[in-house]
């Protein structure tokens, strides 16, 4: 098949696609990418910071909650920390795919995070802080999804997938409220 063809019967200009694909500097980002890449990377780094703060908060709560009756809550905190880590990994990977650099700088983590850290000592305060943080994450992801719209379907899909888990986390925390 020749690279001089103009369009296939489906209307796709394969010659142009093949020529553009030879620009290897942009990695996974092709010529048809419609979003403002730097803006998306900045949003994703904010989400990454949020996930990292959530990991730290859930881990602290996991290690500090005590009491014979709190085993279920302790297990829930650990499960959420592990899922937040998975989200952080997905976000960092997407940032790299967009030719950005994931920002793990601990010195600026809290100021970049949408959610807050919490060092409560009593279980119900921990649960409440986590519920609030999940609600913050849900709304942050919703706003990012709206802002991206249809300009970056891959990032949009990722954010929707993460937001769905954050909604499950919020339900879990609400169920643990006394």
Residues that constitute the known binding site for Fe cation: 51, 87, 134, 166, 169
Distances (CA, A) of 21 to 12, 29, 37, 53: 14, 10, 18, 38
Which residues are annotated as part of the binding site? 51, 87, 134, 166, 169
Distances (CA, A) of 48 to 13, 20, 36, 39, 70: 37, 31, 18, 14, 29
Crossing angle of the two packed helices 123-148 and 71-97, in degrees rounded to 10: 20
For residue 168, the surrounding DSSP H or E stretch is helix 153-176
Helices (H), 6-152: 14-21, 37-64, 71-97, 109-112, 123-148
Residue 154: CB partners within 8 Å, gap ≥ 6? Answer: 94, 97
CB 105 within 8 A of CB 49: no
């Amino acid at each position: 098949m020749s690279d001089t063809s103009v369009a296939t019967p489906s209307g796709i200009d394969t010659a142009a696609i093949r020529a553009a694909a030879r620009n290897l500097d942009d990695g996974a980002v092709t010529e048809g990418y419609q979003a403002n890449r730097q803006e998306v990377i900045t949003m994703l780094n904010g989400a990454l910071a949020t996930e990292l703060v959530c990991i730290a908060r859930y881990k602290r709560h996991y290690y500090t909650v005590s009491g014979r009756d709190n085993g279920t809550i302790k297990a829930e905190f650990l499960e959420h920390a592990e899922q937040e880590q998975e989200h952080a990994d997905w976000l960092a990977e997407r940032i790299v795919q967009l030719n950005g650099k994931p920002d793990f700088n601990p010195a600026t983590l809290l100021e970049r995070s949408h959610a807050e850290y919490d060092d409560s000592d009593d279980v119900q305060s921990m649960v409440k802080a986590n519920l609030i943080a999940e609600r913050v994450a849900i709304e942050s992801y919703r706003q990012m999804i709206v802002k991206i719209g249809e300009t970056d379907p891959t990032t949009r899909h990722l954010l929707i997938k993460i937001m769905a888990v954050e909604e499950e986390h919020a339900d879990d925390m609400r169920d643990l409220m006394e």
